[in-house]
Amino acid sequence: MTVAVPGSIAALPRVVGASLRVPLVTGERVEYANLDHAASAPCLEQVRDAVDELLPWYASVHRGAGFASQVSTRVYEQARDSVRRFLGARPSDTVVFTRNTTDSLNLLARSLPRHTSVVLFDTDHHAALLPWRGPNVHRLTTPATPAGAVRELDRALRATPEGPRLVVVTGASNVTGEVWPVAELAAVARRHGARIALDAAQLAPHRPVDLRALDVDYAVLSGHKVYAPFGTGVLVGRADWLQAADPYLVGGGATARVTDHGDRLGVAWSAVPERHEAGSPNVVGVHALAVACDVLGRHWEQTTAHERELLARLRAGLATVPGAHELSIFGSDQDRVGVVSFVVTGQDVGFLAAALSAEHGIGVRDGAFCAHVAVHRLTDGKRALRASLGLGSTAEHVDRFVAALRSLVVEGSRWPYRIVDGRWVPENDERALPPFLR
């Protein structure tokens, strides 16, 4: 299902919960303004419908003789083609389904050849920053410009020893939304004989990603960022390193044959991708991800136009809030997706987030967004507030957010709050939970 929107945008995919109304501490109910898409995007209606269609056929994947098992297996394997198309992968690339981006990058980290040098920037999300271990990991401080990042990577690769090398880059910052110069960084990696892995978790929901055009070896993303919140992620890329590595999660499916030798078991591992997909596959989550990829792939023009309009509206409105300062790595003019983080002079961002929710029905994120190095560097050690846009966002949501934030900063809250377990909460909060939680 699609919905017409004003202007040049013909139609946008709809999300589940677009008309959700939430209670306020003041007693009213308002339409929920979800400005936290960067953390988890809502489910597309097409994805929900596809999951409902699959569920009666849900059965074991692979090796099942029953007809429902054959259907589920076909759904699971066809999903690899949808993801491959969505990411512009090469025909020879393998598609490994995981739990999420973090799982995908940990899998890749444990599949590197011995003594691989890893080069990355320290302002990355923790999922891309933390899986790499040992003396061959080189963390670079992010320069002030994209061109500086390219030069710094070139300098770092010149200094790394001969042998296998991997560069890890972010497609779009989950803190500032700024788009990184992936193609330029990949060109530097190629000149030095290095491979490059792209964390596309924040980029893929907002812009097309083409591994061949970018000349990237690996890409990772999470279903819950691309409107398929059913617990699936993916690692797509060159098969040789993954094929040569033992699975870091072992069990059924990863094994081609297990033999008993008395004092030990002999194991022959499956080939990729099954080699790294041990356990019963999440066919529902994989199908949801595939459908989301297909839907987004058909609506890029509308999606990006919608986001550009709302992002300009959000940034312009934020500039009118006294004391609000937008965070940026490369400068305010850098191309970016619909993610804006900021601080407000003299204001506790946790308090602002709580009041925006309790009094105005607006969901934002406060903290360091699993990118502590980046946030603390940009805020001199403080936390930040983040508003992020997506298909569930509207102009009314943005305008309500700007007006509410300005009111809180200028006039203060209408309701008393206190800190409980380190978080601001409204006093005497009598908002009822939905019936399924009572």
The CATH number of the domain covering residues in 47-298: 3.40.640.10
Nearest alpha-carbon partner for 204 in 289, 287, 144: 289
Report the pLDDT averaged over residues 228-257.
95
pLDDT confidence band for 6 (50 / 70 / 90): very low
Report H helices in 95-217. 101-109, 126-129, 146-159, 182-191, 211-214
**Tell me, what's the pLDDT at 402?**
98
Greatest alpha-carbon pair distance for the chain in Å reads 76
82-126 pLDDT per residue, tens: 999 999 999 999 999 999 999 999 999 999 999 999 999 999 999
**Domain boundary assignment for the chain:** 2-43+300-437, 47-298
47-60 exposure pattern, b = at least 16 Cβ within 10 A, e = fewer: bbebbeebeeebee
Can you name the residues that pair with 29 across neighbouring β-strands?
Answer: 23
397-428 pLDDT per residue, tens: 999 999 999 999 999 999 999 999 999 999 99
Report the pLDDT averaged over residues 386-390.
98
Report the pLDDT averaged over residues 243-254.
93
27-48 pLDDT per residue, tens: 999 999 999 999 999 999 999 9
Length of the chain: 438
261-288 exposure pattern, b = at least 16 Cβ within 10 A, e = fewer: eeeeeeeebbebbbbbbbeebbbbbbbb
Q: 150, 370, 403, 409: which is the annotated catalytic residue? A: 370
**Tell me, what's the pLDDT at 63?**
82
pLDDT confidence band for 248 (50 / 70 / 90): confident
CB 269 within 8 A of CB 252: no
> How far apart are alpha carbons 148 and 329 in whole angstroms?
11
Task: State the chain's mean pLDDT as an integer.
Answer: 95
Report H helices in 136-193. 146-159, 182-191
Report the pLDDT averaged over residues 156-162.
95
Q: What's the whole-model pTM score?
A: 0.95
Report the pLDDT averaged over residues 335-346.
98
% of the chain with per-residue pLDDT over 90? 96
CB 126 within 8 A of CB 174: no
Active-site residue 370, yes or no?
Answer: yes
pLDDT value at 307 more than 80: yes
pLDDT confidence band for 326 (50 / 70 / 90): very high
State the distance between the two ends of the chain, measured CA to CA, in whole angstroms: 32
pLDDT value at 4 more than 90: no
195-242 pLDDT per residue, tens: 999 999 999 999 999 999 999 999 999 999 999 999 999 999 999 999
Q: What is the token pair recorded at 21?
A: 């109304």
pLDDT confidence band for 9 (50 / 70 / 90): very low
> How far apart are alpha carbons 99 and 224 in whole angstroms?
10
**Tell me, what's the pLDDT at 167?**
98
> How far apart are alpha carbons 13 and 289 in whole angstroms?
15
Architecture of domain 2-43+300-437: Alpha-Beta Complex (3.90)
Long-range contacts (CB closer than 8 Å, 24 or more residues apart) made by 15-23? 15/41, 15/42, 15/43, 15/44, 15/45, 15/227, 15/390, 15/391, 15/392, 16/42, 16/43, 16/44, 16/45, 16/48, 17/42, 17/43, 17/392, 18/42, 18/392, 21/361, 22/361, 23/431, 23/432
pLDDT value at 144 more than 50: yes
Report the pLDDT averaged over residues 313-323.
98
% of the chain with per-residue pLDDT over 70? 98
> How far apart are alpha carbons 323 and 397 in whole angstroms?
21
Residues 6+ apart with CB under 8 A from 199: 101, 105, 124, 125, 127, 128, 168, 169, 170, 171, 220
